[in-house]
Structure 1
Amino acid sequence: MKNIKQTAVAGCTLVIFGCAEPEKPAEETKRVTRPDFNVMEDVTHKKQTFFNFLRPAVSQENARVSQERSFLLAIQAQFKVGQAIQENDLDEARQLGDAYKVELTDDKITEQWLDEMLVRVDEIPETLVLSQAANESGWGTSRFAKEGNNYFGQWCYTPGCGLVPSARNEGATHEVAVFSDAQQSVHAYFMNVNRNRAYAELREIRAQERASGHKITGLKLAEGLHRYSERGQDYVDEIQGMIRHNRQYWQQG
């Protein structure tokens, strides 16, 4: 399952488990021309090119999330010692809470709010992101990747919002969302995984690993992806297999 909430992204109405309207980075990311993966016959070259193409977008999203998390940890430190929260910090917390669907109670920061936000606002290992992208897009060769910059199989439901699947079941109304570029697709994936109830298990695993002082790995977080695909555990096993098989390409855990 890859959809639920409707929101505007890249000029279309997108239905994704928590896809937020993309933040504008301080410096506009230079767009890279999408390689033609369909013509690449050498498997090693194709994989390396695919990962290199999406890796900058993954790094940018993890940098964004890391910055947001640092802000929350600073607020938490102030909160624990009873220090008053400045109005501008409260405004930022309010906006961040809205983005992650954890609204402030009575417009105040609470310990419960901080705890929930810190579970959601956390990094996702590139091994998991890139493996899912490769799996969902057929290594960038799918129609949806080529025509819609959609590398994670995200759906939308408003007529005309995306591309109509050729094999859509009778009576189904979903379309496959279209993004302006790969960065938007990766951003939508991050917001999807980090704030939707379908992936609460993944976030809980991540929080437990962090609390235990363990390195957060894609292999471990993949255990929480049972609801990403109707295939359930078979999908989890496949993603973990891809992470292990492609370890020569990973730069992070």
Structure 2
Amino acid sequence: MPIKIFPVVLILLLHGCSDESSEPISLGSAQDIHFKSPPDFLSFRAGIQRKNGFFNYFVPLIHEANRNILLERQRLTTLMHQDRLGPSDQTWLTSLAERYDLADFNPGQPSDQVALLKRIDIIPTSLALAQAANESAWGTSRFARQANNYFGQWCYTPGCGLVPKQRNAGASHEVRAFDHPFDSVKSYLHNLNSHRAYSELRSIRAQQRQAGQPITGLALAEGLKRYSERGEHYVEELQAMIRYNELFRFNQYNQTANRD
């Protein structure tokens, strides 16, 4: 039976628990935030103040992580246009394919290079923010506060994270612990770019690239039905958060021209 999201729950996610008037946002820099602990989001007034604090902290981290991905993509694209690959280039490509969980990779095979390129690309800031806010209750969840986990990622090695209080009998997963929120952001992006469960998301993104269209959070959200047991309801929830909070305003790179 599909799980329904009650309207009051969606309202809390959209509004950040309040309907205060808007306040200006002053984004921090990724270089500064790398060395800072996240703010206590519970100390912010619920609503616009908390949401703005959340955006101020996470937008630079998401931008920085996406920038690093684009640097890898740029190098890969350059190598794809070379007639011959040197040993160091082949080693780098093979290592990259292993990191992105691309099996049976041949660095000199053009089709394998294209398959790797499909995995190395940005996740729209609008989508990353929506998922972080959704999964961490705007930074106030136990896993966000105690484990720097803002995207609900699991791990399966004993002691790798926090044990969910309502974990089913016989289950062995934990909610992964990170040293810093930036590690959580990077792991989330890598998860979407490498795990087989999100191949649909990567296909949607590749189609947008092929068509010369901006990569959008609303479109890529359609590829996240397997991120949550709520399936399509989860996708609709993310899309509603993107629209209501106008998260497109934080997009960059080739996303800026599109309002989603």
TM-score range, shorter chain: 0.7 to 0.9
Once residues 101 and 45 of structure 2 are traced to their aligned partners in structure 1, the CA distance between those partners, rounded to angstroms, is 44
Once residues 235 and 34 of structure 1 are traced to their aligned partners in structure 2, the CA distance between those partners, rounded to angstroms, is 26
Counterparts in 2 of 1:248 and 1:236: CA distance versus 1, 3 Å = closer
Q: % of aligned pairs identical?
A: 45
1:126 and 2:128 correspond: no
CA contact (8 A) 1:97 1:104 kept: no
Shift of 1:201: 0.2
CA contact (8 A) 2:154 2:175 kept: yes
Shift of 1:103: 4.6
1:49 and 2:53 correspond: yes
1:74 and 2:73 correspond: no
Shift of 1:33: 2.2
Once residues 179 and 71 of structure 1 are traced to their aligned partners in structure 2, the CA distance between those partners, rounded to angstroms, is 28
CA contact (8 A) 2:198 2:224 kept: yes
Q: Which residue of 2 aligns with 1:88?
A: 88
User: What's the CA shift string for 1:71-114, capped at 9, x where partnerless?
Assistant: 11111111xxxx21122212211211111122564x54211111
Counterparts in 2 of 1:124 and 1:242: CA distance versus 1, 3 Å = same
- Letter of the structure 2 residue corresponding to residue 128 of structure 1: L
- Root mean square deviation of aligned Cα: 1.7
1:62 and 2:66 correspond: yes
CA contact (8 A) 1:48 1:249 kept: no
Counterparts in 2 of 1:248 and 1:193: CA distance versus 1, 3 Å = closer
Shift of 1:248: 6.2
Shift of 1:56: 1.8
Once residues 159 and 46 of structure 2 are traced to their aligned partners in structure 1, the CA distance between those partners, rounded to angstroms, is 36
Shift of 1:28: 9.8
Partner-residue secondary structure (3-state), 2:175: strand
Equivalent of residue 43 in structure 2, options 29, 39, 42: 39
Structure 2 unaligned blocks of 5 or more? 1-30, 256-260
Once residues 116 and 217 of structure 1 are traced to their aligned partners in structure 2, the CA distance between those partners, rounded to angstroms, is 21
Q: Which residue of 2 aligns with 1:4?
A: none
CA contact (8 A) 2:93 2:107 kept: no
- Letter of the structure 2 residue corresponding to residue 247 of structure 1: E
Structure 1 unaligned blocks of 5 or more? 1-26
Counterparts in 2 of 1:42 and 1:176: CA distance versus 1, 3 Å = closer
Once residues 58 and 238 of structure 2 are traced to their aligned partners in structure 1, the CA distance between those partners, rounded to angstroms, is 17
Shift of 1:42: 4.4
User: What's the CA shift string for 1:143-196, capped at 9, x where partnerless?
Assistant: 000000000001111121110111111221111100000011011101100011
Counterparts in 2 of 1:213 and 1:248: CA distance versus 1, 3 Å = closer
More strand by proportion, 1 or 2?
Answer: 1
Counterparts in 2 of 1:249 and 1:208: CA distance versus 1, 3 Å = closer
Once residues 177 and 33 of structure 1 are traced to their aligned partners in structure 2, the CA distance between those partners, rounded to angstroms, is 18
- Letter of the structure 1 residue corresponding to residue 51 of structure 2: K
Query: What is the aligned residue count?
Result: 222
User: What's the CA shift string for 1:187-234, capped at 9, x where partnerless?
Assistant: 110110001100000000000011011111111100100000000000
Alignment of 1:5-44 (within 5 A): 30-44=34-48
Once residues 29 and 54 of structure 1 are traced to their aligned partners in structure 2, the CA distance between those partners, rounded to angstroms, is 9
Q: Which residue of 2 aligns with 1:100?
A: 100
Q: Which runs of 4+ in 1 moved over 4 A?
A: none
Partner-residue secondary structure (3-state), 1:176: strand
Once residues 35 and 29 of structure 1 are traced to their aligned partners in structure 2, the CA distance between those partners, rounded to angstroms, is 10
